[in-house]
Amino acid sequence: MSATQVPGPGANVAARRKEHGLSQVALARRAGVSVSLLSKIEVGDRALTQGVGAAIARAMNLTLDELLGSAPEANLSELNYVIRRFDIPGEPPERPERLQGEVDGLNQLRWNTELSKVLQRLPGVLARVTNHAHLTRQPKAWTLVADVYGIVYWLAARHRWMHLAELATMKQRVASERADPIAAIVAARDDAGTFLNSGDFSGGLAVIDRAIAQAESTLTGRDRAYGLGILHLRGLTLAGRLRDKQTTDRHIAAAWRAAGEFSEDIAEHGIHFGPENTATHVISTASDMDQHRRALDTAEDLIREGLTLPATRVAPLYLNLGRSQLALGDQDSTLGSLETAWEVAPEMAAVHPTSLELTRVLVSKHKRSNERLSRIARRAGLAV
């Protein structure tokens, strides 16, 4: 896969189509979309959605991440070295009592979407927690290792470095076999995320269904509600991308039931769950299924009540708002939502495919100079 960032995923469709020697008519027929829609996506009159993107990718024997393009790859040699030595014990940390605090600090950077700082600190923290787990062989220590690999997956998924994301979830699963039961459920949720990122939505749902059965049989109390909740959130996203209303509604209902166990959102194992995060996922899936008015109404209620979620959840919320606003023809509100996402999480907005795609389409549609849009386009690396 190329490590070249593209200025909006839709802009890459025409390039990949021409590489495969396909006309718009041929690709549209293979993908099951109209020629008109494909043409509008390529020229920037319509935003490429993940669901349509997956269909177009499959028509060219590509994964979704290959079609979208990845962010330029950073120097990952140190992180790869630590991952490679997963089963080779090294020097144990001098202050093991500080490990939980180090992981908590990494997660705080994650929630603030400080991607570069996360990458900078990851190798050292990962090495220390892994060496400590080898020394103590305690499930709690291996749970910490699995949690850090969850952070590796998150960082890789944000940049669409899918080889690293899949390697991280593989190591996460191995660590979870030696850890507390909840670690296996979190690992399954992240594993399903690699299917989501690649566009294999039905495969991801199979992973989720298996993990739900495991959670129901192995977890109790708070862990059970939390574990089932994060699985159903992943499930509703996958089903929404498939536009499978029945399965989507089933996961939404189950997610709300699990969220009802919590008076407010909690953060465990690096992942937030509760009423607010459930609402953000419902909004995103409503956009995926072209229920744009529902998405905007749900978001209005959520924002009015006051958001307590971190930047890693707030920025995607506004990007999904932008998707629905753009679909309804409200370009000014789309730009406002895009600006908020950049303000809240600039490093995420710089690499997020929805951010890049909204910017590309707005630039294409704006016939007059707009300094606000031009400022964002320059930050995204898009010529105006």
Looking up residue 374, the CATH number of its domain turns out to be: 1.25.40
In a domain, 66, yes or no: yes
pLDDT confidence of residue 384: 62
Measured distance CA(27)–CA(184) in Å, rounded: 40
Q: Which two tokens stand for residue 382?
A: 């898009």
Query: What are the distances in angstroms from CA 211 to CA 146, 181, 252, 338?
Result: 16, 11, 17, 35
Measured distance CA(174)–CA(239) in Å, rounded: 27
User: 4 and 69 in contact (C-beta within 8 Å)?
Assistant: yes
Q: Which two tokens stand for residue 200?
A: 């294999």
Query: What are the distances in angstroms from CA 282 to CA 83, 136, 256, 317?
Result: 35, 41, 10, 10
In a domain, 371, yes or no: yes
pLDDT confidence of residue 1: 34
Measured distance CA(381)–CA(258) in Å, rounded: 41
Which residues in the chain land under pLDDT 70? 1-8, 367, 383-384
AA identity, residue 310: P
Give per-residue pLDDT as tens, 108-132: 999 999 999 999 999 999 999 999 9
User: Which secondary-structure segment (H or E) carries 65?
Assistant: helix 64-68
pLDDT confidence of residue 5: 44
DSSP 8-class letter at 272 = E
Name 272's bridge partners.
267
Last residue of a domain, one of 32, 50, 70: 70
CATH number at residue 37: 1.10.260.40
pLDDT confidence of residue 383: 66
In a domain, 38, yes or no: yes
Q: How far is CA 24 from the centre of its chain?
A: 29
